[in-house]
Structure 1
Amino acid sequence: MNAIETWETGNGVVEFPDGRRVRGRGLLAPLPNGLDPQFGFYLLGRAPRIDLWPHRWVLWQDFSLPTSTADAVARLHEAYERAAIERVEIACDGGIGRTGTALAALAIIGGVPANAAVAWVRKNYHPQAVETPEQRRWIGNVSSQLRT
Protein backbone atom coordinates (compact mmCIF):
# COMPACT_ATOMS: atom_id res chain seq x y z
CA MET A 1 0.00 0.00 0.00
CA ASN A 2 1.02 3.60 -0.46
CA ALA A 3 -0.12 7.07 0.53
CA ILE A 4 -2.61 7.08 -2.37
CA GLU A 5 -4.65 4.57 -0.34
CA THR A 6 -5.40 7.09 2.44
CA TRP A 7 -8.53 9.28 2.60
CA GLU A 8 -9.14 12.29 0.45
CA THR A 9 -10.26 15.39 2.36
CA GLY A 10 -13.88 16.08 3.27
CA ASN A 11 -16.80 14.13 4.78
CA GLY A 12 -15.46 13.73 8.32
CA VAL A 13 -11.83 13.32 7.30
CA VAL A 14 -9.37 14.92 9.71
CA GLU A 15 -5.80 15.64 8.63
CA PHE A 16 -3.25 15.67 11.44
CA PRO A 17 -0.18 17.94 11.43
CA ASP A 18 2.01 15.16 10.00
CA GLY A 19 -0.36 14.63 7.05
CA ARG A 20 -2.04 11.42 8.22
CA ARG A 21 -5.77 11.35 7.69
CA VAL A 22 -8.51 9.55 9.60
CA ARG A 23 -12.25 9.65 8.96
CA GLY A 24 -14.53 10.18 11.93
CA ARG A 25 -18.20 9.30 11.66
CA GLY A 26 -21.33 8.19 13.44
CA LEU A 27 -22.43 4.63 12.82
CA LEU A 28 -26.10 5.56 13.12
CA ALA A 29 -25.78 7.63 9.93
CA PRO A 30 -25.59 5.97 6.51
CA LEU A 31 -22.15 4.94 5.30
CA PRO A 32 -20.68 7.92 3.41
CA ASN A 33 -20.31 7.70 -0.35
CA GLY A 34 -16.89 6.86 -1.68
CA LEU A 35 -14.23 4.41 -0.66
CA ASP A 36 -14.72 2.03 2.25
CA PRO A 37 -12.34 2.01 5.19
CA GLN A 38 -9.49 -0.46 5.17
CA PHE A 39 -9.49 -0.51 8.98
CA GLY A 40 -11.99 0.62 11.59
CA PHE A 41 -11.66 1.55 15.25
CA TYR A 42 -15.04 1.43 16.98
CA LEU A 43 -15.93 2.91 20.36
CA LEU A 44 -19.14 1.26 21.45
CA GLY A 45 -21.01 -0.29 24.35
CA ARG A 46 -21.39 -3.50 22.32
CA ALA A 47 -19.44 -5.33 19.64
CA PRO A 48 -19.88 -3.73 16.20
CA ARG A 49 -21.70 -5.59 13.46
CA ILE A 50 -19.12 -4.90 10.79
CA ASP A 51 -17.57 -7.65 8.73
CA LEU A 52 -16.55 -5.82 5.57
CA TRP A 53 -13.09 -4.68 6.77
CA PRO A 54 -10.71 -5.40 9.65
CA HIS A 55 -11.46 -3.53 12.83
CA ARG A 56 -10.83 -3.21 16.53
CA TRP A 57 -13.43 -2.48 19.16
CA VAL A 58 -13.06 -0.80 22.53
CA LEU A 59 -15.83 -1.09 25.10
CA TRP A 60 -16.85 2.52 25.62
CA GLN A 61 -20.36 3.50 26.73
CA ASP A 62 -21.98 6.65 25.34
CA PHE A 63 -21.10 9.86 27.24
CA SER A 64 -18.49 7.94 29.21
CA LEU A 65 -14.88 6.75 29.09
CA PRO A 66 -13.34 3.55 27.78
CA THR A 67 -13.67 0.61 30.16
CA SER A 68 -9.93 0.00 29.76
CA THR A 69 -7.69 3.01 29.21
CA ALA A 70 -4.74 0.71 28.43
CA ASP A 71 -6.73 -1.06 25.70
CA ALA A 72 -7.97 2.24 24.26
CA VAL A 73 -4.48 3.76 24.18
CA ALA A 74 -3.02 0.65 22.51
CA ARG A 75 -5.78 0.66 19.88
CA LEU A 76 -5.36 4.39 19.28
CA HIS A 77 -1.65 3.88 18.60
CA GLU A 78 -2.50 1.04 16.21
CA ALA A 79 -5.07 3.17 14.37
CA TYR A 80 -2.61 6.04 14.08
CA GLU A 81 0.13 3.80 12.67
CA ARG A 82 -2.26 2.21 10.19
CA ALA A 83 -3.43 5.66 9.04
CA ALA A 84 -0.02 6.20 7.46
CA ILE A 85 -0.88 3.67 4.74
CA GLU A 86 -4.56 2.74 5.10
CA ARG A 87 -7.98 4.39 5.15
CA VAL A 88 -8.79 4.31 8.87
CA GLU A 89 -12.12 5.33 10.31
CA ILE A 90 -12.91 6.07 13.95
CA ALA A 91 -16.58 5.82 14.89
CA CYS A 92 -19.12 5.59 17.68
CA ASP A 93 -22.91 5.74 17.41
CA GLY A 94 -23.25 9.50 17.01
CA GLY A 95 -19.73 10.35 15.86
CA ILE A 96 -19.20 13.27 18.23
CA GLY A 97 -18.31 12.47 21.86
CA ARG A 98 -16.36 9.21 21.83
CA THR A 99 -15.19 9.70 18.25
CA GLY A 100 -14.13 13.27 19.03
CA THR A 101 -12.29 12.10 22.13
CA ALA A 102 -10.42 9.47 20.10
CA LEU A 103 -9.58 12.03 17.42
CA ALA A 104 -8.25 14.43 20.08
CA ALA A 105 -6.07 11.59 21.37
CA LEU A 106 -4.81 10.89 17.84
CA ALA A 107 -4.08 14.60 17.44
CA ILE A 108 -1.77 14.39 20.46
CA ILE A 109 -0.02 11.38 18.93
CA GLY A 110 0.29 13.45 15.74
CA GLY A 111 1.96 16.38 17.45
CA VAL A 112 -0.81 18.65 18.69
CA PRO A 113 -0.04 19.84 22.25
CA ALA A 114 -2.23 18.05 24.81
CA ASN A 115 -3.65 21.30 26.16
CA ALA A 116 -4.80 22.25 22.64
CA ALA A 117 -6.11 18.85 21.44
CA VAL A 118 -9.78 19.36 22.32
CA ALA A 119 -9.90 22.80 20.68
CA TRP A 120 -8.02 21.40 17.68
CA VAL A 121 -10.49 18.56 17.11
CA ARG A 122 -13.44 20.91 17.58
CA LYS A 123 -12.01 23.19 14.90
CA ASN A 124 -10.98 20.43 12.49
CA TYR A 125 -13.73 17.83 12.99
CA HIS A 126 -16.87 18.89 14.87
CA PRO A 127 -17.55 21.92 17.11
CA GLN A 128 -19.13 19.71 19.83
CA ALA A 129 -16.52 16.93 19.76
CA VAL A 130 -15.42 15.60 23.16
CA GLU A 131 -18.82 16.06 24.76
CA THR A 132 -18.29 15.58 28.48
CA PRO A 133 -16.00 17.08 31.12
CA GLU A 134 -14.84 13.53 31.91
CA GLN A 135 -13.80 12.99 28.29
CA ARG A 136 -11.86 16.28 28.33
CA ARG A 137 -10.09 15.28 31.56
CA TRP A 138 -9.33 11.82 30.13
CA ILE A 139 -7.49 13.43 27.22
CA GLY A 140 -5.25 15.30 29.66
CA ASN A 141 -4.76 12.24 31.86
CA VAL A 142 -3.63 9.96 29.02
CA SER A 143 -1.60 12.52 27.07
CA SER A 144 1.75 11.20 28.36
CA GLN A 145 0.78 7.66 27.30
CA LEU A 146 -0.20 8.90 23.86
CA ARG A 147 3.14 10.57 23.18
CA THR A 148 5.16 7.39 23.75
Structure 2
Amino acid sequence: MPDRILVPVDGSPLSKRALEVACDEYGTAEITALHVIDPTEPGYSIFGVEYDPSTAPRHGSEAWYERATELADELFEELDALADEHGVSIRTETVVGRPDREIISYATDEDVDQIIVGSHGRGEESRLLLGSVTEAVAFRAPVRVSLIR
Protein backbone atom coordinates (compact mmCIF):
# COMPACT_ATOMS: atom_id res chain seq x y z
CA MET A 1 0.00 0.00 0.00
CA PRO A 2 1.55 3.34 -1.00
CA ASP A 3 2.20 5.87 1.76
CA ARG A 4 2.45 9.00 -0.40
CA ILE A 5 0.14 9.68 -3.34
CA LEU A 6 0.46 12.58 -5.78
CA VAL A 7 -2.57 13.77 -7.75
CA PRO A 8 -1.83 16.46 -10.36
CA VAL A 9 -4.89 18.71 -10.67
CA ASP A 10 -6.01 21.29 -13.19
CA GLY A 11 -9.70 21.53 -12.27
CA SER A 12 -10.82 19.27 -15.11
CA PRO A 13 -13.43 16.58 -14.41
CA LEU A 14 -10.78 13.87 -14.88
CA SER A 15 -8.36 15.45 -12.42
CA LYS A 16 -11.18 15.66 -9.86
CA ARG A 17 -12.02 12.03 -10.58
CA ALA A 18 -8.37 11.10 -10.02
CA LEU A 19 -8.55 12.76 -6.59
CA GLU A 20 -11.74 10.84 -5.80
CA VAL A 21 -10.03 7.56 -6.74
CA ALA A 22 -7.07 8.45 -4.53
CA CYS A 23 -9.38 9.23 -1.62
CA ASP A 24 -11.48 6.09 -2.11
CA GLU A 25 -8.62 3.65 -2.63
CA TYR A 26 -5.80 5.20 -0.58
CA GLY A 27 -7.56 7.29 2.06
CA THR A 28 -5.04 6.36 4.75
CA ALA A 29 -2.08 7.55 2.64
CA GLU A 30 -0.76 11.10 2.53
CA ILE A 31 -2.45 12.54 -0.56
CA THR A 32 -1.12 15.69 -2.19
CA ALA A 33 -3.03 17.59 -4.85
CA LEU A 34 -0.47 19.40 -7.01
CA HIS A 35 -1.39 22.25 -9.33
CA VAL A 36 1.19 23.49 -11.81
CA ILE A 37 0.97 27.04 -13.12
CA ASP A 38 2.38 26.89 -16.63
CA PRO A 39 4.09 30.22 -17.41
CA THR A 40 4.17 29.39 -21.13
CA GLU A 41 0.38 29.24 -21.35
CA PRO A 42 -1.48 32.56 -21.61
CA GLY A 43 -4.37 31.17 -19.53
CA TYR A 44 -4.08 30.25 -15.89
CA SER A 45 -3.68 26.45 -16.24
CA ILE A 46 -7.12 25.93 -14.71
CA PHE A 47 -9.74 24.00 -16.68
CA GLY A 48 -12.83 26.02 -17.56
CA VAL A 49 -11.47 29.45 -16.62
CA GLU A 50 -12.04 31.97 -19.36
CA TYR A 51 -8.95 33.95 -20.26
CA ASP A 52 -9.59 37.21 -22.09
CA PRO A 53 -6.30 38.91 -22.95
CA SER A 54 -8.07 42.24 -23.37
CA THR A 55 -9.16 42.33 -19.71
CA ALA A 56 -6.76 39.93 -17.94
CA PRO A 57 -3.45 41.05 -16.54
CA ARG A 58 -0.58 40.95 -19.01
CA HIS A 59 0.64 37.39 -19.36
CA GLY A 60 3.72 36.82 -17.21
CA SER A 61 3.22 39.96 -15.14
CA GLU A 62 3.14 39.93 -11.35
CA ALA A 63 -0.63 40.52 -11.50
CA TRP A 64 -0.98 37.52 -13.85
CA TYR A 65 0.85 35.26 -11.35
CA GLU A 66 -1.26 36.64 -8.49
CA ARG A 67 -4.45 35.81 -10.42
CA ALA A 68 -3.14 32.32 -11.26
CA THR A 69 -2.42 31.75 -7.56
CA GLU A 70 -5.90 32.99 -6.57
CA LEU A 71 -7.47 30.56 -9.04
CA ALA A 72 -5.33 27.72 -7.67
CA ASP A 73 -6.51 28.58 -4.15
CA GLU A 74 -10.13 28.48 -5.33
CA LEU A 75 -9.49 25.09 -6.95
CA PHE A 76 -7.96 23.78 -3.72
CA GLU A 77 -11.01 24.91 -1.72
CA GLU A 78 -13.17 22.83 -4.05
CA LEU A 79 -10.81 19.85 -3.82
CA ASP A 80 -10.62 20.09 -0.02
CA ALA A 81 -14.44 19.90 0.06
CA LEU A 82 -14.35 16.90 -2.29
CA ALA A 83 -11.83 15.14 -0.06
CA ASP A 84 -13.93 15.97 3.03
CA GLU A 85 -16.88 14.21 1.38
CA HIS A 86 -14.72 11.08 1.34
CA GLY A 87 -13.54 11.58 4.92
CA VAL A 88 -9.97 12.32 3.81
CA SER A 89 -7.62 15.22 4.46
CA ILE A 90 -5.30 16.28 1.62
CA ARG A 91 -2.23 18.48 1.21
CA THR A 92 -2.25 21.06 -1.56
CA GLU A 93 0.76 22.47 -3.39
CA THR A 94 1.22 24.93 -6.23
CA VAL A 95 4.38 25.13 -8.33
CA VAL A 96 5.32 27.09 -11.44
CA GLY A 97 6.85 25.49 -14.50
CA ARG A 98 6.27 23.03 -17.29
CA PRO A 99 3.62 20.65 -15.92
CA ASP A 100 5.18 17.31 -16.88
CA ARG A 101 8.61 18.26 -15.54
CA GLU A 102 7.21 19.74 -12.32
CA ILE A 103 5.04 16.70 -11.62
CA ILE A 104 7.96 14.30 -12.09
CA SER A 105 10.29 16.54 -10.10
CA TYR A 106 7.81 16.82 -7.25
CA ALA A 107 7.30 13.04 -7.19
CA THR A 108 11.05 12.52 -7.02
CA ASP A 109 11.85 15.26 -4.50
CA GLU A 110 8.98 14.39 -2.16
CA ASP A 111 9.53 10.62 -2.30
CA VAL A 112 6.06 9.93 -3.70
CA ASP A 113 5.06 6.26 -4.04
CA GLN A 114 2.40 6.63 -6.72
CA ILE A 115 0.94 9.25 -9.07
CA ILE A 116 -2.76 9.16 -9.94
CA VAL A 117 -3.51 11.36 -12.94
CA GLY A 118 -6.51 12.02 -15.15
CA SER A 119 -5.98 11.02 -18.77
CA HIS A 120 -7.21 13.65 -21.19
CA GLY A 121 -7.97 11.32 -24.09
CA ARG A 122 -9.33 12.74 -27.32
CA GLY A 123 -12.16 10.27 -27.79
CA GLU A 124 -12.47 6.52 -28.18
CA GLU A 125 -11.78 6.52 -31.91
CA SER A 126 -8.73 8.72 -31.62
CA ARG A 127 -5.25 7.27 -31.86
CA LEU A 128 -4.18 9.83 -29.27
CA LEU A 129 -5.11 8.18 -25.99
CA LEU A 130 -3.42 10.50 -23.52
CA GLY A 131 -2.90 14.19 -23.14
CA SER A 132 0.70 15.28 -23.68
CA VAL A 133 1.34 15.97 -19.98
CA THR A 134 -0.17 12.66 -18.94
CA GLU A 135 1.83 10.80 -21.56
CA ALA A 136 5.10 12.40 -20.45
CA VAL A 137 4.40 11.65 -16.80
CA ALA A 138 3.32 8.06 -17.52
CA PHE A 139 6.47 7.25 -19.44
CA ARG A 140 9.05 9.23 -17.44
CA ALA A 141 7.90 9.06 -13.82
CA PRO A 142 10.16 7.15 -11.44
CA VAL A 143 7.12 5.64 -9.67
CA ARG A 144 3.92 3.84 -10.53
CA VAL A 145 1.41 5.97 -12.46
CA SER A 146 -2.30 5.18 -12.47
CA LEU A 147 -4.31 6.73 -15.32
CA ILE A 148 -7.91 7.67 -14.76
CA ARG A 149 -10.31 7.86 -17.72
Question: Does TM, scored on the shorter chain, surpass 0.5?
Answer: no
TM-score, structure 1 as length reference? 0.30
Q: Which protein, 1 or 2, shows the higher relative CO under an 8 Å CA cutoff with sep ≥ 6?
A: 2
TM-score, structure 2 as length reference? 0.30
Give the number of the structure whose alpha-carbon radius of gyration is greater.
Answer: 2
